[in-house]
Structures are given as C-alpha cells and as structure tokens.
Amino acid sequence: MHSFTYQVPTEVVFGADTHLQAAQYVRKYGGSRVLVIYGGGSAVRSGLLDRVCEGLRDDGLTVETLGGVQPNPRVALVREGVQKAQAMQADFILAVGGGSVIDTAKAVAHGAANPGLDVWNDIWLQPANLKKSMAVGAVLTIPAAGSETSDSAVLTDGDSGMKRGLNTQLNRPVFAILDPKLPATLPAFQLGCGVTDIMMHTLDRYFNPDMDNQLTDELAEALLRVVIDNGLKVLKDPENQQAMSEILWAGSLSHNGLTGLGGRKDFAPHQLGHALGGMFDKAHGATLAAIWGSWARYTCKGDANVGRFARYARNVWHLDGEAMGDMELALGGIAATESYFQALGMPTCLEELVGRTLDGETLAELAYQCSYSGTRTIGTFMVLNQDDMLAIYTAANGRRKLSFEQ
C-alpha cells in the first residue's frame, strides 16, 4: 500500500426531504448572498428550484439564479456565472442538480474568488494559479458523477471542443444534500448514465498496478456489487427509495477517494471518454460505457493484469473460478460488465455511441486529442501512448452482441 493523505471535509446530509434544509447549511457555512446554479428544466418543472430558493429567501438570504447548465458543462456559462457572482457580491455558490451543475458551481466559485484570472486559460489550464475559492454547496438531483464530495471538476471549451478536468482540494463542496426522493423524475437514460459513471469511478481506481490494498480493494468490490444490484432496480422503478438511497450513497463514495486509497489511480477510460465527449458532445456515462470493454481487453495482458481482471470476475460478478482459468475468468468479467452496461441502456461501442462507425481519420484525431497532441501518456494499470489510444478507439469502433443475466 502506498502512502496517502485523506481528507474529505464535505458534510453529507442524507435523507428524504433534506433539500428543505438547504438554507440552514448555507448559513452554517457563512453564506448570506447566494448564487444558485441549476441545469435544464427539470429543477424548475418539479418545483425543486422554487422550494430551495424560497427556503433561502425565507431565511433572510439574498438569492439570484443562473440556469442553462448542459451536460459537458461549458466554459462560456461559467464566465457568465462569474460575472453574475461578482456583480451581486456573492459569498456562496449553491448547485441544484447533478455533476455538470456542481462542476459549473465549482468553476464559478474559483473564477469569482479570483477576479484577475480567466477561469479557463488561467485556472483550468494552469491549475497552479488557483490559491483560493468560494464556498460551494450541493443539492444533488442525479446520482452519477460524485462531484458532490469529490476534489475534481470537468469543463468543456465550446470553441475548441477541449474537455479538461481539474483536481484540487478547493473543489470539495462544504456540504452535500442527498435526498433519495429527488432523482425519481429522471429519464431512464440519465439514470443509466449515472449508474455507469458510479461504477467507472470505482473501476478506474480498482484497476491500478498496486495490488496489495486488501481493505481498499474489498471496499471497492462491495461498492460495485451494491451498485450492480440496485442499478437496474432504480431504472425499473425510480421511486424505489431504498434502491435509490444505495445508489446515491455509492455515487458519493465512489468519487471521494475512498475506493482507491493506497493505490495509483488509472482513469485511462475517463481520459478516452473525455475526448469522445468533447468531440461528439455525448453524455459522460455513455462515453465511458462505449470505451471500457475495449480498454479492458487491450490492457488484459501479463499475469498481474490478467489476475486482477480474474479477481474482479470472481469477487464482483461471482463467476466460478474453479471451472475456468484466469484468462477465461478475466474475459468473462469484462463481458459481464459490458452486458450490464447494455442492460442499463448504454452503448458498448462507438457505433452505438455516435450512430455510425468512425473513419480512420476521426479515430486518429481522437487519439491525438486524448494524448494532448502527442504530449502525454495516460493510465497506470497500463501506461498508454497515442498509438495505444488509437488501437483502443479502433477496437471500440465495432459492435458486439451481448446479453446480461443476473
């Protein structure tokens, strides 16, 4: 086990109707002038936004709102939010939504706290410049990204199509409200993307070259089993609060660092997915599902990596290790994961993701963008260069027939 420092300062407020306590927690963390950020229309149509804002105003807080956050949140709206926060002299940013909304709120907080810096050019692309930020809270509506407790945020520059992540302790919200009633109105596709993202945040930590982390590995395996067990339940019945509670809590734990302590994060599938999201503007969870199986088969090489996949197949998917060798087990676990993604309504190849097979030039451009114009490698489980990235994108370009059984 490698050395680590672990701190997650986010206060988690879990339970039905806890969104009605938002004003109490904004006050607790020093907020008095609040910019509330939300996404499309669901927060408005459901009445959630009005309930939250009314509660804030009834508590004597000054409130303004900024809506319109898209999946793959855009820098342009962040800049608008920074201007609005500065104009109203905001001292607190409250996100009401999912990961894209929370990531936007984090970025607005960074920009508003640093008026001399452009949020993209001077902060996102030069993170060493970020020394301070503003308090952010979250009322979570979509179990998915784990942004409500994570140290990460992702933005897309609409002009260049570049999608970039930023990791810093300043990204940690001060509180996160997890109300299992709120996701009940989500479309099945959004829930499927969310369940996929939760799994991937754990898988991208679990598949790493450090295999002596017994407790961390078993925590990760337990979380994956719980998500697999409850993911299809919430798709079938989004009002199943018991299943939704498990998914909500798993989402927060999957991306707060717990399931990777003592190891070196891989996150190559995330990087491969970011390039797809930036080029085709596809939902994050869908890009991860479309690329994961091809990444897994490509990296399933050497005794250690094969053994890792075999352990995953045994401990997460309960495949019979006595009846199969490690390679057969490994490939069986990969196939089971892809089949489960399909059962969630997710794509498992690029043709399903974008609606067509991609030509060689487009695949090469994806690898070029993912490698930051050939200037970086990705991953730790297997270090991947630009040629490796191209090979994975090429392998993902075809379609495979799968069927999930549980």
- Lowest mean pLDDT of 35-39, 134-138, 145-149, 173-177, name the range: 145-149
Q: Is the pLDDT at 365 greater than 60, yes or no? A: yes
Q: Is the pLDDT at 145 greater than 80, yes or no? A: yes
Instruction: Please give the pLDDT value at position 402.
Output: 53
From the list 348, 207, 209, the residue with the least C-alpha distance to 288 is 348
Instruction: Please give the pLDDT value at position 406.
Output: 43
Cβ-in-10-Å burial (0-12, 13-18, 19+) of 75 comes to buried
Cβ-in-10-Å burial (0-12, 13-18, 19+) of 387 comes to exposed
Task: State pTM to two decimals.
Answer: 0.91
Cβ-in-10-Å burial (0-12, 13-18, 19+) of 47 comes to exposed
Contacts of 294 (CB under 8 A, 6+ apart): 349, 392, 393, 395, 396
Fold (topology level) of 188-395: Dehydroquinate synthase-like, alpha domain (1.20.1090)
Q: Residue 189 and residue 149: Cα distance in Å, rounded?
A: 23
Q: Residue 256 and residue 306: Cα distance in Å, rounded?
A: 27
Instruction: Please give the pLDDT value at position 404.
Output: 45
* Domain 11-182 bears CATH identifier 3.40.50.1970: yes
Q: What is the pLDDT of residues 255-301, one digit of tens each?
A: 999 999 999 999 999 999 999 999 999 999 999 999 999 999 999 99
- Cα dihedral 213, 384, 372, 127 in deg (nearest 10): 10
Q: Residue 52 and residue 247: Cα distance in Å, rounded?
A: 23
On the CB side of 386, how many CA atoms lie within 13 Å of its CA? Answer: 13
Q: Residue 87 and residue 83: Cα distance in Å, rounded?
A: 6
What DSSP string runs through 63-108? EEEE----SS-BHHHHHHHHHHHHHTT-SEEEEEESHHHHHHHHHH
Q: How confident is the model at residue 171 (pLDDT cuts 50, 70, 90)?
A: very high
Average pLDDT score over residue span 67-83: 95
Q: Is the pLDDT at 313 greater than 80, yes or no? A: yes
Cβ-in-10-Å burial (0-12, 13-18, 19+) of 118 comes to middle
Q: What is the pLDDT of residues 85-140, one digit of tens each?
A: 999 999 999 999 999 999 999 999 999 999 999 999 999 999 999 999 999 999 99
User: How much of the chain, in percent, has pLDDT values that exceed 70?
Assistant: 98
Average pLDDT score over residue span 304-311: 95
Cβ-in-10-Å burial (0-12, 13-18, 19+) of 184 comes to middle
Average pLDDT score over residue span 62-71: 95
The domain segmentation of the chain, as residue ranges, is 11-182, 188-395
Q: Is the pLDDT at 40 greater than 90, yes or no? A: no
Q: How confident is the model at residue 41 (pLDDT cuts 50, 70, 90)?
A: confident
Q: What does R_g of the chain's alpha carbons equal in angstroms? A: 21
Q: Is the pLDDT at 400 greater than 90, yes or no? A: no
Q: What is the pLDDT of residues 207-250, one digit of tens each?
A: 999 988 999 999 999 999 999 999 999 999 999 999 999 999 99
Q: Is the pLDDT at 377 greater than 70, yes or no? A: yes
Instruction: Please give the pLDDT value at position 35.
Output: 98
